[in-house]
A and B are shown apart, each in its own frame.
Chain A
C-alpha cells in the first residue's frame, strides 16, 4: 500500500521561508496571497496487509522521525 505523509509547521511557529516565498509572489503581482506556509510531503511504499495496523505504525514513524512534533504537525493518508 501507499501512504502519504504531510508535515506542516504548527500554527504560531514562524516560517521565514514561507514569508520569503510570499514576498516573491507579491513582487510578481499575486497580491491576493495573504500567507504562505511551507511543509513537506512524503510518499511511503509499505508492505503491510492491514490498513489499521499500518496506520498506527506510520503514526509512530511520524512521532519518532518523520515530523518533529515540537514544531510540526502531520497528517497521514493511506491508499
Chain B
C-alpha cells in the first residue's frame, strides 16, 4: 500500500501528511510533483493543504489546471482513493471532482483553531473507523472554507449521505454558533457520489499524534489503511 502526496508550488502540509503516513502509521509514502503525469504504484492520493500558487485567482483554481490533476481525475474515475485536505479540498472542487465551492469565511478572517467535527457518515473508506455521529477534535486553518453549493446540490449531498463531516458543538449539534466559517449546513467535508473522493477543511494530519494535542484525525488514516488492506 502506497500513499502519493501531491506537491504543488505553495503546498505546505505535504510534509505533515508524509510524516503521518510514513512515521505514525508506518505505510509507504511518496511525493508526486504537480508536473508529473503518472500515479502508477499509488493506492491513495492526498492533495495536501497549503496555498498552491499563492491562492491566485481563486483558492485551488490554478492548481486544478496542473498536469498531475488529469491523472488524479482518471485515478478517481477508476475508483482510487483521493483525499483533499483544506487547499486540497478547494482544488478538488475547482477540478470538478467534488461539487460546490469554498468561499471566503463569512467573518473574512483566517481562522486557525481546534474545532469539534461530527462524523455524519461513517460508511465511507475515509471514515469507517469512526462511530456514527462521533464528535472529534481537529484543527482548521483557512481563510476560504465557507462551503457553498446551489440548493439542489446541497439537498442531493444531504439526501445521499455525502456530507462526511460537519462542524458541531462538542455535544454533536450542528448549530450556527458552532459554524466557524459560514459553510452551508455546517459542512466540513463531503464525498463524491461513488464515495472514493473526500474533501475536508479540517486537518486530520495535524491531529494524529498526542504530542500535537489531538488524535481526532487518526480515524481518517486508519479508515483508509483498513479500506486498502
Instruction: Give me the interface of A with B, judged by CB distance under 8 Å.
Output: 13-14, 16-17, 20, 64-66, 68, 70-71
Complex partner residue of A68 from B101, B104, B108, B182, CB under 8 angstroms? B101
A residues near B106, Cβ cutoff 8 Å: 14, 16
Q: Which of A13, A65, A70 contacts B57 (CB 8 A)?
A: A65
| A-B residue pairs in contact (CB < 8 Å), sample of 29 | A13-B103, A13-B148, A14-B103, A14-B106, A14-B146, A14-B148, A14-B182, A16-B104, A16-B105, A16-B106, A16-B107, A16-B108, A16-B182, A17-B108, A20-B108, A64-B65, A65-B57, A65-B62, A65-B65, A68-B58, A68-B61, A68-B94, A68-B101, A70-B99, A70-B100, A70-B101, A70-B148, A70-B149, A71-B103
B172-199 residues with Cβ-Cβ distance < 8 A to A are 182
Q: How far is the CB of B89 from chain A (nearest CB, A)?
A: 14
| Shortest Cβ gap from A68 to chain B (Å) | 5
Q: For A65, what are the chain B residues with a Cβ–Cβ distance below 8 Å? A: 57, 61-62, 65
A71 near B108: Cβ-Cβ < 8 Å: no
| 6 A-B pairs closest in CB distance | A70-B101, A71-B101, A16-B108, A16-B106, A68-B101, A68-B58
Q: How far is the CA of A65 from the CA of B93 in the complex (A)?
A: 12
Task: For A40, give the chain B residue with the smallest CB separation.
Answer: B57
Give the contact-size bracket for chain B. Answer: 20 to 34
Tell me the chain B residues, 137-155 only, with Cβ under 8 Å from chain A.
Answer: 146, 148-150
Considering the complex, give the chain A residue whose CB is closest to the CB of B106. Answer: A16
How far apart sit A14 and B184, CA to CA, in the bound complex (Å)? Answer: 11
CA distance A13 to B103 in the complex (A): 9
Complex CA distance for A68 and B102, rounded to whole angstroms: 10
Residues of the B chain whose Cβ atoms lie less than 8 Å from the Cβ of A70: 93, 99-101, 148-150
Instruction: Kindly state the separation between the CA atoms of A20 and B146 in the bound complex, as whole angstroms.
Output: 17
A45 to chain B, nearest CB (A): 17
How distant is the Cα of A13 from the Cα of B106 in the complex, in angstroms?
11
Residues of B within 8 A of A13 (CB): 103, 148
CB distance from B57 to the nearest CB of A (A): 7
B59 nearest in chain A by CB position: A68
In the assembled complex, the Cα of A49 lies from the Cα of B121 at a distance in Å of 54
Chain B residues near A64: list those with CB within 8 A.
65
Q: A17–B104 contact, CB under 8 A?
A: yes
A70 to B61, CA, bound (A): 13
CA distance A13 to B105 in the complex (A): 13
B65, B93, B105, B148 pick with most chain A CB within 10 angstroms: B148
Q: How far is the CA of A68 from the CA of B93 in the complex (A)?
A: 10
Q: Compute how far the CA of A66 lies from the CA of B58 in the bound complex, rounded to whole angstroms.
A: 9
